Amino acid sequence: MGEIPAVENAWEFAERAHKVEKQRLAREYQQMLDEARSRLAARGAALSGSMVMETVRIEGARITSILKSRLDHLLEGLSLYKAEIDDLNTVPRLLQDIDLLRIDRIAEAKRNYAAGPLAHLVSVENYSLSLESEVGLTRDEVMTQIERWRLKLGGLDHSSVQEGDNKMPRRAVPQPKGATLTPERSIPALEELITQATDVKAQPYGSAEKKQWGNEAKALLEAALGEDHSIVSSFSRDFVSGVYLAVSKLD
């Protein structure tokens, strides 16, 4: 199967899977909203600022869950159809997909609020600003998930094994070419670097902590993937992700 059909098949898979999950999330969060409304109504506060804030919180959580579900299904589809998650085409498409979905869901929530009974309490503009700050899954977080999947795919054999009517990817034992660490050892170590990245980014510009983290990350990536791997090559580019900070930002 060619690369372009594989990517399109992955997106079609995500559309189908996400549609089902989106319906489930809509029911779950509507129930949460109904419960909050009932709870506040018992205190005579169903039409109050408190209900507005509850709506913001629940709607923000709902949209975040939708975004996470969409990203998970896209990455799962790319894995199942053995499509490369490359920086030139697939990663920008993933980022754009989640960005557009975020904009669409927030706009829908804004329209619903404007047509509802709470709009006279807090302006639509202020509601929208509060909601945007409540919605999670930032671009950095999306990149973190993408890189985790890319690293995990480095430890998967894309030849499939048959299980009933389904084909499932099989765990591979061989290391990537040029690597000195097995996936079983390198993946936990790389995930630990991802965890440390947030604290490292908060350190002062040019700090020893940043430089040390950058050196350790580069060495580990080379050991895990081989020094000629595309992820290692992209380490020095001028962007920040959940797996690595660009070397130019660390120096």
The predicted-structure confidence for 231-245, as pLDDT tens digits, reads as follows 666 664 533 433 334
Q: Are residues 71 and 191 in the same domain?
A: no
Q: Pick the closest to residue 35 from 46, 21, 48 (CA basis).
A: 46
Per-residue pLDDT averaged across 167-172, rounded? 43
CA angle, corner 137, sides to 133 and 139, nearest 5? 100
What length does the chain have? 251
Q: Are residues 81 and 168 in the same domain?
A: no
Q: Are residues 103 and 181 in the same domain?
A: no
Structural domain ending residue among the three candidates 73, 102, 136: 136
Q: Token match 């947030």: residue?
A: 198
* Percent of the chain residues topping a pLDDT of 70: 73
Structural domain ending residue among the three candidates 136, 168, 200: 136
Q: Are residues 14 and 117 in the same domain?
A: yes
Residues with Cβ within 8 Å of residue 112, at least 6 apart in sequence: none
Q: Are residues 41 and 125 in the same domain?
A: yes
- 116 found inside a domain: yes
Q: Are residues 129 and 175 in the same domain?
A: no
Residue 158 binned pLDDT confidence (cut-offs 50, 70, 90): very low
Q: Are residues 180 and 215 in the same domain?
A: yes
Q: How much is the pLDDT for 97?
A: 92
CA angle, corner 192, sides to 190 and 196, nearest 5? 115
- 121 found inside a domain: yes
- 143 found inside a domain: no
Q: Are residues 47 and 105 in the same domain?
A: yes
For residue 176, give the DSSP letter: P
Domain count, the chain: 2
Per-residue pLDDT averaged across 187-210, rounded? 71
Q: Are residues 7 and 95 in the same domain?
A: yes
Q: Are residues 90 and 126 in the same domain?
A: yes
Residue 250 binned pLDDT confidence (cut-offs 50, 70, 90): very low
- 152 found inside a domain: no
- 65 found inside a domain: yes
Q: Are residues 11 and 115 in the same domain?
A: yes
- 141 found inside a domain: no
Strand ranges in the chain using DSSP code E only, listed in sequence order: 156-163, 166-171
- 117 found inside a domain: yes
Structural domain ending residue among the three candidates 136, 170, 202: 136
CB 76 within 8 A of CB 156: no
Residue 153 binned pLDDT confidence (cut-offs 50, 70, 90): low
- 186 found inside a domain: yes
To the nearest whole number, what is the mean pLDDT of the chain?
Answer: 75
Q: Are residues 132 and 29 in the same domain?
A: yes
Residue 24 has pLDDT above 70, yes or no: yes
Residues with Cβ within 8 Å of residue 98, at least 6 apart in sequence: 67, 70, 71, 137, 142
With residue 155 as reference, give the H or E element that holds it.
Answer: none
- For 108, the domain range is 3-136
CB 153 within 8 A of CB 79: yes
